[in-house]
Structure 1
């Protein structure tokens, strides 16, 4: 399918063009308008397939990449990948439009948009890839590109630290996920996700099935900031607000959610999967909402609220996995609705959280601070921004008439229904799910009120803010207004989204179910007075009470000492690893060349000799060997004599002459074995190097070596003997190894085809030419690097920052 391939590659192509075109483009128009066309066009291209996906169709195409290793560039468009593709391109379009007015033209905009397009292409590659190795490649590219975006303001120490933390945690999870993918390949003999899903019953009994499950979840949890890996997300808020609105509300943090949803058909129905996904999701939901209340920075508050909402979505996918346990039965439909609620809230969260991030960016941009202790009374100065904040916050709190209310009610219905499940001994702790969900929702309501009241209500504090507050320009308001319209529109017309977007995604998660109409509930804003509505009323009442009494109970947060936070443990771990590596490096990096040779030789002997000892490869057969002539023995003894004498030589010139004797002796051996070209090369090289050594060393004083202790002498002698014996054994083993066809057969055929009359000349002329070509390429790259460094000039924006 060409459209999906274009969707993946177009952002990369445009990112590559930006460094070449940005100087010309900025003379004509803002660079952002050119970049805006990329996600907007892709959004329209993908939207064309919505009706076909709603009818149950899927689109797949394979482009051969490394077929010998079963790695092909296979693109797959179904309902699940479509919902993420529309979020990536749709929210991406609004974020780029917002950034045109948010970022100053003095910023390094070509770098910013280049990084943003790289990230967009990587995310699209993740959601549209069917091959596990290709998915992993794009997965790690999202980590690299997000690192560049978070550290965009690299002159700030906090930005660099936040980018490094996000990179380390997410890459750790990515490597764990890679190990899980390889285990799945061993169990299923395929890298195709579709084929793994089709053969899941075969691989469930494999010993690597559960380890693969755990390792893949590690990748998902780290990327989606689940407890206890959530600590990178608040620090990543040092990125520019457009980056936070895009990466940390709609796209990057949803990659882990996508992974869980995509692999639910594989691992769903397993007890380990259910408990890990649902419980960790609920713990993340509670911990994020609980910590959001204590924040004084608006972006930090939104960061912890994002952690909380991601935990909500994750827990719903865990609860919905029970449907895979029961299979297609009427009573299992209730549990699959949890997955539907997860997809629904996935979309809702992207709309209201994207609008809230942009709102906070507007406040910071127009007022000069995000500290709620310095804010207040902005409603009369920024009425449109206030309206955006109310719509986004109330949707996040789960109040009508906003879309968050609908998915939150479905969340309550799911945690109440799970109590009656008989599988996995859920009934024993069934109350755990609704209680944690309800308490976390109360804190969500509290911090939503804090966000609105502390920023826009109360009295203005002009002495504490840096700028006179005023409404943002229209360009900065368009994107959050569109998102707010979606928040309200989805509430009144939710089943349009449900039929065309959510139902096909459900069919992707539950491929064995015959029709989606039996799975998908009809979304209603009013279900009568039921347990879910009563839970919502309780959230509002208790939430208002806690908000009004915030000053009296907020000091409880002081009981949580900073010495025992996850951030503290992370910092200690980094500090200990750095100190430990420094101490270890100082021990072996002594500056003594003799020590370095000892390390190399000991490792060489341990590895090679150890292999020969523990294997049966050390087999010798001297029956077919040629007889050793007397002149060959003479040359060997000459070389032995020169090598031993060189050790005890007290002058550098003598040592160099003896080294030359060794080189010339090797040349004589080439002559004896009828390789005159090699002999001539050896003679020339040895003559030149010996002359150069003599020319340089004759001006140096004679060697006056300090005699080492006898123990050191004996250790070096033993190492020398072992190295020599190992090399000899390797040579003999190679000559007498007859288990495979010798490589000489290949070279015999190759040099005849090459038209040569001498096998050595042909190897040097043809095979060595490739090596020479690569060496030339390396020199070219080094030359370009040197040229770039010589032409490098301080950028104007860096000079401005320094001033």
Structure 2
């Protein structure tokens, strides 16, 4: 299973090299087999006899962190969506993205994201889940900002990163709390300890942390504002991230933990209430939009709210309907995003005010959009999968009971009415999207490009998705026992058996559906008469204004604080740094009784060491009074080389060699920038500044002396030197103990150090290139 998860990431390494052949063959054709193979691998598990699979690989055993992957019905459903729709998106992008685009960047980001999403839905270890979770935010940031030369793309990428990563920190706090409560990092074991979690006094805090993480990721009200701006990404990204994968990560999280919190009234109330408000808000605001992708963005928000509400209901029918709608939504919404991209690609605009009458020029696209929009609207037709899950949603909203508390009972009563209101506007924006684009008056003079039908291969991906809409609608039971029931079982925590059929008789959910169609049709036909209501509600108000104000205030405050100490004075930087270290460390040593001057068991001091120490002290003091820059460089070098000699005398040749190299490079660098060094003959410090210098210098020096002596005399644990001596060759296979420690015993520390050096080197290289390019201009 680990190969399926990491296959896209491993292949992403070679994508930049493959993209060099893009003038001969589109990069997408070379990498398309990877998600296809992953999809086929997961398809092999589909069936009525499916049993969950677990694969575990040690990562950081000392912290109980492992790459443990758990494939059950829920994770299987998401893995199929991630790999299946990922394959279709790659195929679609081959004809959407020109070879002149930075294809290596695009597909690398896309495959990193694919691995991150697979890791999220398959991870059983909560910390591995969090690591993959944040990788989805990072890779989506890169994909949304792919056209970085556009200001709106950069704005949308930064907004999505700030909101989703902030929620990610909240998720981390919730996962840590669950780990502390249960004593395990395994989600499966946490589910087995559900009673312990529900009885914990930290339950409200844990719920708040997890819900905040899920709401920000899945664009729930009021954190939904990042999703419309993320539409600045290329259409293949929108079709993938914002219909089938990333925005459903929060849905997945709540589904995964429903087995723990499903019976908790606060979980029902918060999830259902926020979900239904998101449904109503998203569908209401979608009708106001004029950009095709903006309409689809708000429609995605509303659909996610509906799924989130069903998970909050917590009943078996609601859970099954949520799982069913996750599949349905991926099919019709993915196809609609691709159709929107085709319309933009073939007409030069996504502004619905400039579109209309395109059915004559783009009959295939119009037909696909017809099935997609009518399925999204929940029109009661047997060949549209959206109706089935929408009717289940209505049915589930009418069956809410068993939760104690007056306010909770009020919420349960109001939910069906809000569900109908949200679905009415869903019907309105679906009809608005289709008829406003493909029917009505053709406005040739407003189109930048004369419209024509897209190539068949560009239509192939939406054709496959719309075929899924129809097949699921005609044969819903085809996916029931082999896939949906297993996913619902994993969410509900018990066996869920539901038959999917079109006709259930004249029952309240059918009346609710007919009400939606009738009232929705009336609103569509009278849209021009009532749409002025948007001037009142929401009017000029937008949560984007709150976000922009908050970001601007944060940046302004940060600038004010930063410029108070980042004024270009090296002296001020050193004063602040050394004073902080001296004050904090000194206080900690004093409070903790960590000062210990009892020196015992030290090596004998010879005359050689004394003479070298005296020379180093004289050289160090001389640096204060020397007025010649060349002399200053030399006396600093005397201190460094003297330290190297002391290392040699105390049998540390590796440290001595390192010190010699560093000191030689330092002296050489000082000489290279000789003319840029300050003029030491002019003293600009005031008497007060010199006094501060003296106090800090003495204080910091005294601190280093106290720390050195106290550290030598303090032993809180048994020394590990004997362990390294005995096991360096046995476990590490090396005679050089220091090398074995760096590479094997403390390999993670070395990795981070190398990463820091690599990052610093990359930054320096970037600055040099930037200066070089600037000079060339």
* Separation of aligned partners in 2, 1:105 and 1:691: 48
What residue is the counterpart of 1:324 in the other structure?
none
Q: Deviations over 1:333-390 (max 9, x none)?
A: xx22111110111111111111211221221122221111111112222222222222
Matched, 1:703 2:700: no
717, 722, 730: which is aligned to 2:707? 730
Q: In the alignment, what sits opposite 1:47?
A: 43
Aligned to 1:588: 565
Asked if structure 2 preserves the Cα contact closer than 8 Å seen for 1:419 and 1:431, the reply is no
- The answer to whether the aligner puts 1:361 opposite 2:338 as a matched pair is no
Pick which of 671-680 and 453-462 moved more: 671-680
Mapped contact 1:562–1:568 kept (Cα < 8 A): no
Q: Does 1:101 align with 2:95?
A: yes
Q: How does 1:327-476 map to 2 (within 5 A)?
A: 335-401=315-381, 402-418=384-400, 421-422=403-404, 426-476=408-458
SS of 2:32 mapped into structure 1? helix
Spell out, residue by residue over 1:15-54, the C-alpha distance to the aligned partner (whole angstroms, 9 max, x if none): 2222223444763x44323333222222222222112xx2
- CA change 1:80–1:714 in 2 (3 A) is same
Deviations, residues 60-104 of structure 1 (Å, cap 9, x unaligned): 121222222212222211111111111112222222222222222
Alignment of structure 1 residues 234-633 onto 2, 5 Å: 234-320=228-314, 335-401=315-381, 402-418=384-400, 421-422=403-404, 426-511=408-493, 513=494, 516=495, 519-560=496-537, 564-622=541-599
**Contact 2:293–2:340, Cα closer than 8 Å, also in 1:** yes
Q: C-alpha separation between the residues in 2 aligned to 1:588 and 1:270?
A: 50
Q: Does the 8 Å CA contact 2:6/2:115 hold for their aligned counterparts?
A: yes
Do the aligned residues in 2 keep the contact of 1:187 with 1:209 (CA within 8 Å)?
A: no
Report Cα offsets for 1:474-505 as digits up to 9, x if no partner. Answer: 22222222222222222222122222211111
Residue in 2 that maps onto 1:115: 109
Aligned residue number for residue 4 of structure 2: 7
| Deviation per residue, 1:415-468 (Å, 9 max, x gap) | 111156546853234322112111111111111121122112221111111222
Matching residue of 1:330: none
Relative to structure 1, the CA distance from residue 639 to residue 786 in structure 2 (aligned partners, 3 Å threshold; closer, same or farther) is closer
Q: Structure 1: 5+ residue runs without aligned partners?
A: 321-334, 755-760, 795-803
The answer to whether the 8 A contact 2:50-2:482 is kept is no
Write the distance in 1 (CA, Å) between the matches of 2:193 and 2:442: 63
Please give the secondary structure, in 1, of the residue aligned with 2:400. helix
Cα separation, partners in 2 of 1:254 and 1:739, compared to 1, 3 Å:
closer
Is the partner of 1:528 in helix, strand or coil? coil
- On the 8 A contact 2:265/2:404 being kept in 1, the answer is no
CA deviations over 1:562-594 (Å, ceiling 9, x no partner): 764111111122222222222222211122221
1:189 and 2:183 matched? yes
Q: Is the 8 A contact 1:652 1:697 kept in 2?
A: no
1:38 aligns with 2:20: no
Q: CA RMSD in A?
A: 4.0
Report the Cα distance in structure 2 between the residues aligned to 1:277 and 1:386, rounded to whole angstroms. Answer: 36
Question: What CA distance in whole angstroms lies between the structure 1 residues aligned with 2:586 and 2:760?
Answer: 38
Assess, with a 3 A threshold, how the Cα gap between structure 1 residues 194 and 682 changes in structure 2: closer, same or farther.
closer
Q: Give the Cα separation in 2 of the matches to 1:665 and 1:17.
A: 49
2: CA distance, partners of 1:210 / 1:595:
46
Deviations 1:604-635 (A, max 9, x none): 11221121122132244357779999999999
Q: Return the alpha-carbon distance in structure 2 between the equivalents of residues 164 and 344 of structure 1.
A: 33
Report if the CA contact (8 A) 1:268-1:274 is conserved. Answer: yes
Query: The residue matched to 1:418 in structure 2 has which SS?
Result: coil
Q: Residues 592 and 405 from structure 1, CA distance in 2 versus in 1: closer, same or farther, beyond 3 angstroms?
A: same
After TM superposition, list the pairs within 5 Å mapping 1:62-141 onto structure 2: 62-141=56-135
Distance 1:684-1:568 versus aligned 2 partners, 3 A rule: closer
Deviation track 1:217-238 (CA, whole Å, cap 9, x = no partner) reads: 2221111111111111111111
Deviates more, 1:409-418 or 1:781-790: 781-790
Partner residue, 1:150? 144
Preserved contact between residue 419 and residue 426 of structure 1 (Cα < 8 Å): no
Contact 2:373 2:434 in 1 (8 A): yes
Cα gap change, 1:457 to 1:753, in 2 (>3 Å): closer
> What is the DSSP-based 3-state SS (H/G/I as helix, E as strand, rest coil) of the residue aligned with 1:50?
coil
Q: How many residues align?
A: 762
Structure 2 residue aligned with 1:740, among 713, 717, 740?
717
**Comparing 774-783 and 460-469, the one that deviates more:** 774-783
Q: Give the SS at the match of 1:256.
A: helix
> What is the deviation of 1:5?
2.3
CA distance in 2, matches of 1:304, 1:196: 35
- Tell me the equivalent position of 2:153: 159
Matches of 1:318 and 1:472 in 2, distance apart? 42
Unaligned runs of 5+ in 2: 773-777
Counterparts of 2:443 and 2:769, CA distance in 1: 49
**CA–CA separation in structure 2 for the residues paired with 1:413 and 1:734:** 69
Per-residue displacement from partner, 1:310-343 (whole Å, max 9, x unpaired)? 00000000011xxxxxxxxxxxxxx221111101
Q: State the match for 1:323 in structure 2.
A: none
Deviations 1:687-740 (A, max 9, x none): 99899989969999662324514x434433332332233222212211221433
1:223 to 217, 220, 223: 217
Distance 1:590 1:506, change over 3 A: same
